Structure 1
């Protein structure tokens, strides 16, 4: 089973170990544990037990999300204090 462990869900930690190669799964494949889409999987290193790159948001996506969240909280504070 360890040789078949090729990918890991970065949302919940599910390790893909099914007999069918991960690359052959359709784009609609989702994590059986948390329903995360296929793009949220990263390659898995069986020796270290860690994900090998990929699977996450690009840094610009994180920055935009952070700025939008801070702006939203600021707007709620401004309107809430009036």
Structure 2
């Protein structure tokens, strides 16, 4: 089972690496692969904890808005089909 890490833990690991700790040691202590660490670093490097939380909120809000838009477009397309069949 995958263990989920919080933004605080991820950013803490990145800052630990920036302070001079080896990637292998950090990965061993967290129980992750080096690939996971480098993915985290590419996503969260330079962010603070509050910025990372805001990023996650914006991503979830964006996905909700995309779903709403898709539903409205589908509804609009269905209405066009119904109106064309009447004519």
Q: Which has the higher strand share?
A: 1
Q: Where on the TM-score scale, by shorter chain, does this alignment land: which range?
A: 0.3 to 0.5
- TM-score, length of structure 1 as denominator length: 0.39
Select the structure with the greater relative contact order (CA < 8 A; seq sep ≥ 6).
2
- TM-score, length of structure 2 as denominator length: 0.37
Rg comparison, structure with higher value:
2
